[in-house]
Amino acid sequence: MANSTFCLDSELVLASNNKGKIAEFELLFSELNLNTTIIPQGQLHIEDAIEDGLSFVENAIIKARHAAKLSGRPAIADDSGLVVPILNGAPGIYSARYAGEHGDDNANNAKLLQDLQPYRQSEQPIKAMFVCVLALVRHAEDPLPIICEGIWEGEILEQARGEHGFGYDPLFWLADLSCSSAELPKQEKNKISHRGQAMQKFRNLL
């Protein structure tokens, strides 16, 4: 999903305080030759928005508007997460706080493995997908945000593999590549990941 076109400013506020996500965005902007300075909202003393939407799209827009309002600048936000159909879409929009505390990757991964135990009886792989929705607003009340999405399909492992990435990367198995997301080099991951797909769509709009 994507709409409208946009002339990118020289500076863009990134509505995130997640170190892993910030690093991925900075690398993606560099790889896509986007001559824009990314300013993480924390550098402007902007705290995280209250994510009370019911979808990735709603939460991405909420975060982008929040950062734009408090900074007075255009802002881009990403709402992303892991969707496991057999768990009715969980962790979904609650991926970052699935185990309760926001941003505790180890606890979130442990809870996911625990919740999937009843479904491990068969030899069928447990399908999953990473979802990323980007929302860019020119100002806080922008009536036509730019929305781009990416979906990355895979499976859930029974135990973690790999040292790269963050979040659920160590549990996300890519059968075609015979590795987990956390075993991919950053540049390779950015070419095929949900966030990389969404960013490429965003790049094509400029």
pLDDT tens digits, one per residue of 54-100? 999 999 999 999 999 999 999 999 999 999 999 999 999 999 999 98
48 is catalytic: no
Q: Which residues pair with 12 in a beta bridge?
A: 38
pLDDT tens digits, one per residue of 93-150? 999 999 988 779 999 999 999 999 999 987 899 999 999 999 999 999 999 999 999 9
| Cα–Cα distance list, 203 to 33, 62, 95, 96 (Å) | 9, 22, 26, 26
Catalytic hit among 79, 105, 115, 142: 79
Flag whether 191 is marked binding. no
**Distance (Å, whole) CA 2 – CA 22:** 22
Res 5: pLDDT: 52
In terms of CATH architecture, what is 11-205? Alpha-Beta Complex (3.90)
- CA 11, chain centre distance (Å): 21
- CA 44, chain centre distance (Å): 21
Flag whether 194 is marked binding. yes
Share of the chain above pLDDT 70, in %: 96
Q: What is the residue-averaged pLDDT of the chain?
A: 92
Q: What is the model's pTM? A: 0.88
Flag whether 19 is marked binding. yes
- Report which of 149, 159, 155, 152 is spatially closest to residue 192, judged by C-alpha positions: 152
Q: Where are the domains of the chain?
A: 11-205
**Position 169 confidence tier, pLDDT thresholds 50, 70, 90:** very high
Are 111 and 117 in contact by the 8 Å Cβ rule? The answer is: no
**Distance (Å, whole) CA 60 – CA 47:** 15
Flag whether 166 is marked binding. yes
> Is residue 31's pLDDT more than 80?
yes
Strand order across the 37-40 sheet:
37-40, 11-14, 75-83, 127-137, 146-156, 172-174, 179-180
Are 59 and 53 in contact by the 8 Å Cβ rule? The answer is: yes
Q: Which residue has 């895979």 as its token pair?
A: 154
Flag whether 180 is marked binding. no
